[in-house]
Each structure stands twice: as structure tokens, then as C-alpha cells.
Amino acid sequence: IVVAVVIINHFYKISVHGASLGALIAIIITAAQVPMFDLRYLLLIAFVLTGITLSARLFLHAHTLLQVISGWVLGFTIMYLIL
């Protein structure tokens, strides 16, 4: 994920915070597919913290909405495909 973000950042600014939080949510979703684990509350907390963090990035004018979303989608997609 880091390599992909570094390569993309040479051409277009993308949110590393978004990529890492997207990867975290992909890990939780993958782990939640095991029947003996109930990770709904952990997933809810992860989504709330993701929203807070990415909103802060927008509020501080560090990124645009498209940069934050594309970072999150990149991190989620790569991690989900790996797992």
C-alpha cells in the first residue's frame, strides 16, 4: 500500500491517512468473516474513527474530498485483495 501511495503521490496527491484507515477496515471485515468472531462493534468504532480522521484532514485543508476518498479506496482495495 505504501509503495502504491508513493508512486501515485508523484503524479497526484492522495491521502495516506485514508489509505491506512481503508486497510484497517479491510482487515476487520476479513476477520469478521470467521464465524466465531463478532467484530461488528469494532467495525463500527473503526468507521467512526475513520470519519473523524478524514474529516479532520478536510477541515485542515490538507486534502480535498477526492484525495481522501481515493486514498481510502486504494488502501481498502489493496488490503482486501491481499487478504
pTM of this structure: 0.90
Sequence-separated contacts (24+) of 41-48 with Cβ below 8 Å: 46/21
| Sign for the pseudo-dihedral over CA of 62, 65, 66, 70 | positive
Residues 6+ apart with CB under 8 A from 17: 53, 54, 57, 68, 71
Residue whose C-alpha is closest to residue 26's, from 82, 79, 70, 72: 79
Q: Are 83 and 27 in contact (CB under 8 A)?
A: yes
pLDDT tens per residue, range 4-61: 999 999 999 999 999 999 999 999 999 988 888 889 999 999 999 999 999 999 999 9
Give pLDDT, residue 38.
86
pLDDT tens for residues 23-36? Answer: 999 999 999 888 88
